[in-house]
């Protein structure tokens, strides 16, 4: 340890001339071979990035744009709906996907005596059939006044709140409005167990307590 | 040529010259004419092989791989890897032919798949081979994996092979997942919806992974095209490349002897025991 050579003697000399490199110039710090190697790597990197980054952006693009239809969809005249029973209607969830882009929505009038006051600004309750467990299509059963999911046995009550099974939050809803006596539905929104509104989350995403911070809103909804 | 290259197998070695005889026994008309022709043909074939070998140097490589020595006790369990490879090749071939009729469009996918089954000549058979072959491939992978584990063949120096094998297993399962959507009937649509939402259930990153798989926040036209591209191009390409690396290591390191085999003390030499 004591006879360790001083640090300075191990350091590479600053100038190529001191290294004894062939054809070195006065004041040159990088050999031409090293410069060529670095240059070739840099050019190759730039060329790869030139096609790689746009291709990656192309594949990831849909993550950052809202692809859900933002127009209001006509669901029929107000006289079709009551506040005691749901009426099924067909709506477009995604444009340009044909039959596969359609889904059922259950609509009824907002019942001010029975419904939670939180959502009384919407004249109609439009319940999405997308189960909050893993996205299977739920069905409304009038006799029991409940929504039931065929896949894993999720059960929701008349308001769409979880009553049994694995779902983690109530059924999603859609914004509603009335124009010239006709009911229209707009964008989807999610709810937590107190029926507080959130921007759309995927099925299986919890929205109660601290869970809501683990499933933040994302740019595609 | 290295000393490790095995010698040519018997049937490829040039036959020793027959002792010269003017009269073939029992055949007076054309003595040894057939023999001469055969010899000539052999020489011509040898010339073609020699031409190829001189330019590619493939012969020692082929010989080292096809005629290498395998450990004593090698048995039928050692064919599971080749069986999996065969299953992959059969999936690739039937998949390419299915792609000639299949249309990855939300309004045409179901009809084109039904068209393959009901109208195309042998379509039901080819689609059936692809559909059942996928299950066979996954079963074979697990059997191959079990053989490797039970025989301890994952140990030094074959750890990289095991790791590549695990990646291949995951990629094959991903093939199963992406292929399941393509018939686009009710079952495949809802099963894939559930599978994507399962991915969405992971905290923070989950919804983004789901968005990537769907190509958006909802299951639509982009999702089917995406699954088709992954199933057709990206994952099979990765699998083929990794199979190449897996086989390279098999060729380089050879196979393991079964664990019940005792070391051959005679072969090791007395001084090393």
Angle at B191 between CA B186 and CA B194, to 5 degrees: 130
A155-156 and A162-164 beta bridge pairing? antiparallel
pLDDT at B273 over 50: no
pLDDT digit string (tens) for chain A, length 221 residues: 456 555 555 677 788 888 777 778 888 888 888 899 999 999 999 999 999 999 999 988 878 877 666 789 999 999 999 988 999 999 988 877 778 888 999 999 999 888 888 888 999 999 999 999 999 999 999 999 999 999 999 999 999 999 999 999 999 999 999 999 999 999 999 999 999 999 999 999 999 989 999 998 888 77
Q: What is the mean pLDDT of residues B234-239?
A: 97
pLDDT at B37: 86
pLDDT at B201: 94
What are the DSSP calls for B176-200, one per residue? HHHHHHTT-SHHHHHHHHHHHHHHH
pLDDT at B1: 46
Residue A185: partners with Cβ closer than 8 Å, 6 or more residues away: A72, A73, A75, A91, A105, A107, A124, A126, A174, A175, A176
User: Does A62 sit within 8 Å of B215, measured CB to CB?
Assistant: yes
The reply to whether A220 falls in a domain is no
Q: For residue B120, which of B102, B106, B132 has the smallest C-alpha distance?
A: B102
Decide which of A191 and B270 is more confident. A191
Q: How many domains does chain A have?
A: 2
Residues A161 and A192 in one domain: yes
Residues A89 and A161 in one domain: yes
pLDDT at B23 over 60: no
pLDDT at A9: 56
Residue % of chain B over a pLDDT of 70: 90
Tell me the average pLDDT of chain B. 88
ipTM of the complex: 0.82
pLDDT tens across B122-154, in order? 999 999 999 999 999 999 999 999 999 999 999
The reply to whether B236 falls in a domain is yes
The reply to whether A99 falls in a domain is yes
User: Does A202 sit within 8 Å of B197, measured CB to CB?
Assistant: yes
Q: Rounded to a whole number, what is the distance in Å from the CA of B175 to chain A's nearest CA?
A: 19
Q: For residue B230, which of B161, B164, B179 has the smallest C-alpha distance?
A: B179
CA A74 – CA A71 distance, rounded (Å) = 10
pLDDT at A6: 57
Q: Could you say which residues from 130 to 189 on chain A have a Cβ atom under 8 Å away from some Cβ of chain B?
A: 133-137, 151
CA A184 – CA A101 distance, rounded (Å) = 18
User: Does A205 sit within 8 Å of B217, measured CB to CB?
Assistant: no
Residues in chain B whose Cβ is within 8 Å of chain A: 106-107, 184, 189-190, 193-194, 196-198, 200-201, 203-204, 206-208, 210-212, 214-222, 224
Residues A23 and A45 in one domain: yes
User: Does B184 sit within 8 Å of A100, measured CB to CB?
Assistant: yes
H or E stretch covering B51? helix B33-56
Backbone torsions φ then ψ of B217, nearest 5 degrees = -85, -15
Residue B197: partners with Cβ closer than 8 Å, 6 or more residues away: A133, A134, A135, A202, A203, A204, B210
pLDDT at B241 over 50: yes
The reply to whether A173 falls in a domain is yes
Range of the domain at A142: 73-214
The reply to whether A169 falls in a domain is yes
Half-sphere exposure of A173 (CA within 13 A, CB side): 24
Residue B175 belongs to domain with CATH number: 1.20.810.10
Question: For residue B55, what pLDDT band results from cuts at 50, 70 and 90?
Answer: very high
Residues A125 and A197 in one domain: yes
Residue A128 belongs to domain with CATH number: 2.102.10.10
HEC per residue, chain A: CCCCCCHHHHCCCCCHHHHCCCCCCCCCCCCHHHHHHHHHHHHHHHHHHHHHHHHHHHHHHHHHCCCCCCCCEEEEEHHHCCCCCCEEEEEECCCCCHHHHEEEEEEEECCCCCCCHHHCCCCEEEEECECCCCCCECEEECCCCEEECCCCCCEECCCCCEEECCCCCCCCEEEEEEECCEEEEEEEEEECCCCCEECCCCCCCCCCCCHHHHCCCCCCC
**Residues A99 and A56: beta-carbon distance below 8 Å:** no
The reply to whether B120 falls in a domain is yes
Q: How many domains does chain B have?
A: 1
Distances (CA, A) of B263 to B69, B71, B156, B259: 16, 11, 17, 10
pLDDT at A219: 82
Residues A30 and A80 in one domain: no
User: Does B196 sit within 8 Å of A100, measured CB to CB?
Assistant: no
């Amino acid at each position: 340890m004591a006879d360790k050579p001083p640090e300075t003697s191990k350091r590479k000399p600053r100038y190529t001339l001191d290294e004894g490199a062939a054809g070195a110039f006065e004041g040159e710090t990088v050999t031409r071979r090293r410069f060529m190697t670095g240059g070739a790597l840099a050019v190759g990197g730039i060329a790869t990035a030139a096609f790689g980054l746009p291709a990656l952006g192309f594949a990831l693009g849909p993550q950052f744009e809202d692809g859900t239809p933002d127009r209001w969809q006509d669901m029929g005249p107000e006289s079709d709906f009551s506040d005691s029973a749901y009426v099924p209607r067909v709506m477009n969830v995604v444009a340009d996907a044909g039959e596969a882009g359609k889904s059922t929505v259950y609509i009824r009038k907002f019942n001010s005596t029975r419904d939670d006051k939180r959502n009384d600004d919407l004249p109609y309750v439009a319940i999405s059939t997308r189960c909050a467990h893993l996205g299977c299509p739920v069905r409304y059963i009038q006799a029991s006044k409940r929504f039931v999911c065929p896949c894993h046995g999720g059960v929701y009550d008349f308001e769409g709140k979880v009553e049994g099974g694995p779902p983690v939050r109530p059924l999603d809803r859609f914004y509603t409005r009335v124009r010239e006596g006709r009911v229209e539905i707009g964008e989807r929104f999610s709810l937590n167990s107190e029926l507080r509104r959130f921007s759309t989350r995927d099925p299986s995403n919890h929205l109660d307590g601290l869970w809501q911070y683990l499933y933040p809103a994302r740019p595609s909804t | 040529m290295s000393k490790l290259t095995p010698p040519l197998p018997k049937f490829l070695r040039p036959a020793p010259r027959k002792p010269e005889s003017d009269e073939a026994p029992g055949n007076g008309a054309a003595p040894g004419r057939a023999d001469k022709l055969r010899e000539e043909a052999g020489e011509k074939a040898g010339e073609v092989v020699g031409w190829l070998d001189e330019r590619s140097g493939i012969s020692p490589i082929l010989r080292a791989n096809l005629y290498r020595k395998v450990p004593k006790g090698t048995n039928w369990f050692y064919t599971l890897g080749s069986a999996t490879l065969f299953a992959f090749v059969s999936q690739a071939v039937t998949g390419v032919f299915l792609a000639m009729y299949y249309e990855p469009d939300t309004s045409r996918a179901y009809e084109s798949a039904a068209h393959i089954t009901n109208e195309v000549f042998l379509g039901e058979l080819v689609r059936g081979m692809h559909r059942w072959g996928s299950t066979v491939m996954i079963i074979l992978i697990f059997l191959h994996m079990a053989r490797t584990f039970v025989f301890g063949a994952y140990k030094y120096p074959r750890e990289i092979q095991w790791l590549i094998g695990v990646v291949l297993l995951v990629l094959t399962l991903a093939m199963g997942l992406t292929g399941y959507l393509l018939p686009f009937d009710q079952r495949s649509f809802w099963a894939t919806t559930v599978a994507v939402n399962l991915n969405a259930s992971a905290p923070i990153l989950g919804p983004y992974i789901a968005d990537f798989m769907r190509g958006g926040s909802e299951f639509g036209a982009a999702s089917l095209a995406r699954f088709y591209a992954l199933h057709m191009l990206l994952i099979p390409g990765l699998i083929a490349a990794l199979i190449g690396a897996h086989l390279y290591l098999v060729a380089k390191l050879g196979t393991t002897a079964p664990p019940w085999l005792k070391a051959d003390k005679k072969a090791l030499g007395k001084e090393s025991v």
